[in-house]
Amino acid sequence: MTGYNNSNGGEVNTASNGNGHSNGHSNGHSNGNKSADYTAQENPTYPYEVIQEIADFITKGAGVRPKIGIICGSGLGSLADIIQDARIFEYEKIPNFPVSTVEGHAGKLVVGTLEGATVMAMQGRFHFYEGYPLAKCSMPVRVMKLCGVEYLFATNAAGGINPRYGVGDIMLMHDHVNMLGFAGNSPLQGPNDPRFGPRFPALTNSYNKDLINKAIEIGKAMGIESNIHVGVYSCLGGPNYETIAELKALRMMGVDAVGMSTVHEVITARHCDMKVFAFSLITNKCATEYNDKKDEEPSHDEVMAVAKMRQKDCCELVSRLIRELAMGSA
């Protein structure tokens, strides 16, 4: 094992995976008052060999090489609960893996089969506001790549800025505005390892059009076409929600939904040539006019409640799309 960071012996847990909302971390990195296990002073770039070791740990433990990677957004951990023959790896037991510190992100990696495809799903992602550098937030995407993953399915909870979007709607991402990138921050910062991808990757066609079109068809077949949109997502650093002036500015820039994740994962996935499908569950409508209505203020409780309410349709959309992929028709 290459000495790197928080190496700890890993165990494979084959117990059924609940989507618990608290993380009982035993390695001193639990949520609550404890801070994340990484500081910006450290080199955030994981060497290729360390990523390879993590990938080997997972593929050997699971006994399969997954083709599809899934990242579950806030409150959407149930996407991983439908995986069959699941091998579950708690993040804290995976060598050199960060820990989840956010409610609704259980901190488990689930490897198994879904609709005939081998998949690995992150029940819990890493956010910039947790104190992790972006390269660390999206490091698991590189692990997925070295495990054999060709398709990344990223999901998130987001606020709807487009006035046509309602709470509970699903926005298929066809592009993004990277606000953290505007501020000079990228998961690809630092030395480039060409074994992952080029120094200057293009992001012009980041979101796979065939998968978007297939998801629209599936939405129609599910009878939820009026709740499906195709739009532009923007990631801000968080953890605070946005001001009204910021939301007005984002709307003027053509943003339809706003959140605090996904973009750095997509950049990392495209850099290593993975195909990407991503969607936002609209958990709240963003106020873009000034008023005193307290009930229009977003809250994480509301985000979690809407995610729970809509998890069934989100799971169905994902599993039907994966079935199409497994059958070779997407």
Ligand X SMILES: O=P(O)(O)O[C@@H]1C[C@H](O)[C@@H](CO)O1
The answer to whether 88 contacts ligand X (rule: CB under 6 A) is: no
Please tell me the distance from the alpha carbon of residue 273 to that of residue 268, in angstroms, as a whole number. Answer: 9
Query: Token pair for residue 145?
Result: 């790549």
Q: Are 123 and 17 in contact (CB under 8 A)?
A: yes
Residue of 157, 188, 247, 314 that binds ligand X (CB under 6 A): 157
State the nearest-atom distance from the C-beta of 107 to ligand X, in Å. Answer: 13
Nearer Cβ to ligand HPA (201/238)? 238
Query: Which of these is catalytic: 55, 122, 157, 171?
Result: 157
Q: Is 159 in the site for ligand X (CB under 6 A)?
A: no
Q: Which entry of ligand X, ligand HPA, none binds 73, CB below 5 to 8 A by partner kind?
A: ligand X
From the list ligand HPA, ligand X, none, pick the one residue 125 interacts with, judged by a Cβ distance below 5 to 8 Å according to partner type: ligand X
Query: Which stretches within the chain are classed as H helix?
Result: 48-62, 78-81, 134-137, 139-147, 179-182, 209-222, 244-252, 263-271, 300-326
Residue 40 exposure: Cα atoms within 13 Å on the Cβ side: 9
DSSP tag of 36: P
260 is catalytic: yes
Give the binding site for ligand HPA (CB under 6 A): 157-159, 241-242, 258-260, 283-284, 286, 298, 303
Q: Does 133 bind ligand X (CB under 6 A)?
A: no
> Which of 27, 240 has the CB closer to ligand HPA?
240
**Interacting residues with ligand X between 18 and 77 (CB under 6 A):** 73-74
Told to judge if 300 belongs to the known catalytic residues of this protein, a careful annotator would answer yes
- How does DSSP assign 74-131, residue by residue? TT-THHHHT-EEEEEEEGGGSTT-----STT---EEEEEEETTEEEEEEES---GGGT
Residues 289-318 that bind ligand X (CB under 6 A): 300, 303
Residues 65, 111 contacting (CB under 8 angstroms): no
Estimate the crossing angle of helix 300-326 against helix 209-222, to 10 degrees. 100
Nearest CB to ligand HPA, comparing residues 47 and 239 = 239
**Which of ligand X, ligand HPA, none does 148 bind, CB closer than 5 to 8 A by kind?**
none
* 264 in contact with ligand X (CB under 6 A): no
Which residues are designated catalytic?
74, 105, 127, 129-130, 157, 260-261, 284, 300
